[in-house]
Chain A
Amino acid sequence: MEINDFKSSEPMAWCPRCGNYGILTSLKRALVKLGRQPKDILLVSGIGQAAKMPHYVKANCFNGLHGRALPAAFGAKTANNDLTVIVTTGDGDCYGEGGNHLIHNIRRNPDITVIVSDNQVYGLTKGQASPTTDECTVTKIQTAGVILEHLSPLALALSVGAGFVARGFAQDTDHLADLIFSGINYKGFALIDVLQPCVTFNKKNTYEWYSKRVYKLDSSYKPTDIGIAFQKSLEWGDRIPIGILYNVSKPAYDQKTCPAV
């Protein structure tokens, strides 16, 4: 497989320099490395800028409702296990509108990979706060600043039992491609939150802002200790870790059994 095998002819609707371009590149590189044909890959999305991504990849695409990518992905994977199912979603789609489905699909642990373009802002609706918007950020609606607590999606995922939790940065496409590849190969629910600069609506969390803060978890980091993973998942501000925070094997939805009653 080559990059061109996953090339779609659809014209792009993203702003120039959008963080999603880096995520798209990383996704395609991971797919090339995976070696499966486009017909065996299903990209599922909801609504938002990130949710347009399946149209820009040559692969099966189910672009459903806002917030509802995960239930549709669960249904599709369960019905057709031959498909490699990847969800491309955003912070509004996955952590806001679809928060309930995130919790319960982590608990179900279907063998799907969820890539969240987390730009900490609502792009498609032009700049309102998302669940991951930093506190006190001023928007057109939150005119005196956001007073809601900033959601830590990776800590949330760990608390409900996710076995694969990672964070990437849209600018570091090689690193992100590796994360996505690992996520796809993980048997179970893999969550990859990606720091994604929004050049139009998020003037705070820019490429420069993230670049100054992100650091890679190196080989000395053991992603098997939930306590340490929790600490890393909550690290935000001056230093933000990227890499695989947690990676333990768990029975996936189609492998789970209970002792005979």
Chain B
Amino acid sequence: MPDEISVRITGEAGQGTQTIGDALTQIFKSAGYHLFAYQDFMSRIRGGNNFFEIRVSIKPVHSPRRRADIIICLDKPSVDIHKKDLAVDGMLIVDKAKFGMAGIEVSMYDVAFNEIALRVANDALYSNSIACGLIAGLAGLDFAFVEQGMQAVFGRKSKEIIQNNVNSARAGFDLSLENPHRKMFLLPAVGKDRLTGLDGIIVLDGSNTIALGAIRAGCKFYTAYPMSPSTNIMNIVAEHAAQQHIIVEQAEDEIAAINMAIGASFAGSRAMTSTSGGGFCLMTEGISLAGMTETPIVIVDAQRPGPATGFPTRTEQADLDFVLAAGHGEFARVVYAPGSVGQAYSLTIKAFNIAEKYQIPVIILTDQHLQDSAIDAQALDPGTSPAKRFIISKEESAEITSYKRYALTDSGISPRAIPSWIQDVIYVDSDEHDESGHITEDAEMRKQMVQKRLHKKLHGLLQELEQPMSFNTNDASVILLGFGSTLGILQEAAQALEKWKVGFIHLSQVWPFPGDEMLKLLSGARMIISIENNAQGQLARLLCREIGIKVGKSILKYDGRPFDIDSVIEIIKSELQL
């Protein structure tokens, strides 16, 4: 009996691999299992080949596997594409009649999805639900969980559609009972404790948690130009907009988006925008404007592979160098790189607070893998207290009759007033300016303003670092190093190789660089291996630039796909000559 199974469902775009994925995620979550689910899809609405993969376990799981135990093919091309990814002793399920296959290989198993769907529900589309029932049955789940999952996903549809889905799933479930390989995939039963504590467990992905974090932080103005893989954040904020009194506006381009957000922030709202690398390029002058005018703003760069259009629906971590330097001129900024749905939530909230407190642009650097991967997690505490603001309150404002927007202070932070709240007027300028915001060409004033925007703010920001997460770094034979979405890989690899003294360090804040803490953690390290989804080892280079420590090796992946845990462990083992 395995501790976990990985199941892949594949077909062409439009065959509903995403819907079936949602259903399976809900089914296994209801049954109390831990899961990690991700989508691999092409940049098209119909045709091609997409797949959904779910890893189900009795222990928490955070990353993809190299091979799937069960692969369900919904169309014939999928068979040849995915055959190579089948685990030893795995089962690849085909519809022999529909695919027109004369014979099948030993590892294959025939299910007449098409014929059953037509018989049970009079529509071949229900093949999906048959597959759901089949998988749940093979894993040994009670059918009640399948019904729950179907209800969760199709609950808004008509009664007839729900019933057709349930009937189809039942047919698939029944088939599993007669499957000769059934015992191969039966999962251990979930403990009673887990089942009774399931109430607060929901399925979350990075898009969800960033959107919910923004709402929790009191974001009242959200604008973006749609761009994969960032668009879902805006979709989710838009769903909550009316209830939470958030203005959500689709901009005509990313330049408009960031300038709108800066205008809204200047006028008093907490504001955010999101994009991917290409759109982020267009935003860079705006980032510089936020730096110069000291206007708080939160920007998500959900990375995808570049350059240019690159792979629109795939993943990469190659914008690190770019976001560190984006925008002309020198000014303080913060870059967070959350590695989990939990970090995505808490760091989004922190991003709003730090942006407002220091009056700077804050960038949340994610990627397609984090945005779109789903995991079982404790429901987020929506909180009741309003977000703490770092502006001059309305009450205090009423008394202010003389105001300088850029008053020089030791911290570099000038108390920020909101226009129309105070009795005086506020001047803000993208030109170099004096304390009152008027244009100046004075050399001494220029120096003081640069120090204010850069050095003084950086000094404060270093006191508020999100410190790296570390595990087993003392006396480690090797320390794995990463940032952003590779956290799950680092965690699982270090756990699996714990007895060989493998530890890890994960940075969820890459700028300002937590140099002191990294020096402490890495002093005495025998070997450092950086694991990055880019072609240059950009984090390793940053480490060297900031604290002069070189990594021994970088495990780099830049084919647009996320790391799988098996391959990473294999590479580390060979490096350690295990």
Interface positions of A (Cβ within 8 A of B) = 10, 38-40, 42, 44, 47, 52, 54-55, 58-65, 68, 70-80, 82-83, 100-101, 103-104, 108
Is there contact, CB below 8 Å, between A58 and B425?
yes
Is there contact, CB below 8 Å, between B420 and A83?
yes
Docked complex Cα distance between A248 and B425 (Å): 33
Q: Does B575 contact A (CB under 8 A)?
A: no
Residues of B within 8 A of A58 (CB): 425
Is there contact, CB below 8 Å, between A68 and B420?
no
- CB contact under 8 A between A68 and B428, given known A75-B223, A75-B260, A80-B267: no
Is there contact, CB below 8 Å, between B427 and A74?
no
Is there contact, CB below 8 Å, between B263 and A61?
no
Residues of A within 8 A of B253 (CB): 100
Nearest neighbor of A46 in chain B, beta-carbon distance:
B430
Docked complex Cα distance between A103 and B419 (Å): 27
- CB contact under 8 A between A63 and B429, given known A78-B264, A79-B247: yes
- CB contact under 8 A between A71 and B419, given known A47-B430, A61-B429, A104-B256: no
| 10 pairs of A and B residues whose beta carbons are closest in the complex | A75-B263, A72-B263, A75-B264, A71-B259, A80-B267, A79-B269, A79-B264, A76-B267, A75-B260, A104-B252
Q: Does B330 contact A (CB under 8 A)?
A: no
Complex partner residue of B262 from A10, A70, A72, A103, CB under 8 angstroms: A72
Docked complex Cα distance between A71 and B419 (Å): 17
Residues of B within 8 A of A65 (CB): 259, 285-286, 289, 430
State which of B98-106, B206-214, B431-439 sits at the interface with chain A: B431-439
- CB contact under 8 A between A60 and B426, given known A42-B267, A103-B252, A104-B252: yes
Is there contact, CB below 8 Å, between A64 and B262?
yes
- Interface residues in B207-255 by Cβ distance below 8 A to A read 220-221, 223, 247, 249, 251-253, 255
Q: Does B293 contact A (CB under 8 A)?
A: yes
- CB contact under 8 A between A44 and B423, given known A55-B439, A71-B251: no
Docked complex Cα distance between A82 and B397 (Å): 15
Q: Does B271 contact A (CB under 8 A)?
A: yes
- Of the A-B pairs whose beta carbons lie under 8 Å apart in the complex, a sample of 27, sorted by A's number, is A10-B439, A39-B420, A42-B267, A42-B420, A60-B419, A60-B425, A61-B425, A61-B427, A62-B266, A63-B428, A63-B430, A68-B255, A68-B259, A68-B286, A71-B255, A72-B263, A75-B221, A75-B259, A75-B261, A75-B263, A76-B264, A78-B221, A79-B247, A80-B418, A80-B419, A80-B420, A103-B252
- CB contact under 8 A between A61 and B252, given known A80-B418, A82-B420: no
Q: Does B265 contact A (CB under 8 A)?
A: yes
Docked complex Cα distance between A76 and B418 (Å): 11
Docked complex Cα distance between A47 and B420 (Å): 24
Q: How far is the CB of A41 from chain B (nearest CB, A)?
A: 8
Q: Which of A38, A52, A78, A100 has the most CB of B within 10 A?
A: A78
Is there contact, CB below 8 Å, between B221 and A64?
no
Nearest neighbor of B397 in chain A, beta-carbon distance:
A39
Q: How far is the CB of B247 from chain A (nearest CB, A)?
A: 5
Complex partner residue of A10 from B252, B257, B425, B438, CB under 8 angstroms: B438
Is there contact, CB below 8 Å, between B268 and A79?
yes
Nearest neighbor of B250 in chain A, beta-carbon distance:
A104
Q: How far is the CB of B397 from chain A (nearest CB, A)?
A: 10
Docked complex Cα distance between A38 and B402 (Å): 13
- CB contact under 8 A between A62 and B259, given known A55-B438, A75-B265, A83-B419: no
Docked complex Cα distance between A77 and B263 (Å): 8
Residues of B within 8 A of A100 (CB): 252-253, 256
Q: Does B299 contact A (CB under 8 A)?
A: no
Nearest neighbor of A6 in chain B, beta-carbon distance:
B425
Docked complex Cα distance between A58 and B424 (Å): 9
Given A61-B426, A72-B259, A76-B419, 20 more pairs with CB closer than 8 A: A39-B419, A39-B420, A39-B425, A42-B419, A44-B263, A61-B429, A63-B429, A64-B259, A65-B286, A68-B259, A70-B256, A71-B256, A74-B263, A75-B221, A75-B263, A75-B265, A78-B249, A79-B263, A79-B264, A101-B256
Q: Does B134 contact A (CB under 8 A)?
A: no
Q: How far is the CB of A108 from chain B (nearest CB, A)?
A: 8
Docked complex Cα distance between A59 and B289 (Å): 21
Q: Does B422 contact A (CB under 8 A)?
A: yes
Is there contact, CB below 8 Å, between B428 and A76?
no
Q: Which of A60, A83, A104 has the most CB of B within 10 A?
A: A60
Residues of A within 8 A of B438 (CB): 10, 55
Residues of B within 8 A of A40 (CB): 420
Docked complex Cα distance between A10 and B440 (Å): 11
Residues of A within 8 A of B422 (CB): 39
Q: How far is the CB of A114 from chain B (nearest CB, A)?
A: 14
Residues of A within 8 A of B263 (CB): 44, 62, 64, 71-76, 79
Residues of A within 8 A of B221 (CB): 75, 78-79
Docked complex Cα distance between A10 and B437 (Å): 11
Q: How far is the CB of A20 from chain B (nearest CB, A)?
A: 16
Residues of B within 8 A of A44 (CB): 263
Q: How far is the CB of B569 from chain A (nearest CB, A)?
A: 48
Complex partner residue of A64 from B257, B424, B430, CB under 8 angstroms: B430
Nearest neighbor of A9 in chain B, beta-carbon distance:
B438
Residues of A within 8 A of B265 (CB): 75, 79
Docked complex Cα distance between A132 and B65 (Å): 61
Complex partner residue of B293 from A64, A74, A76, CB under 8 angstroms: A64
Residues of B within 8 A of A10 (CB): 438-439
Complex partner residue of A61 from B251, B268, B428, CB under 8 angstroms: B428
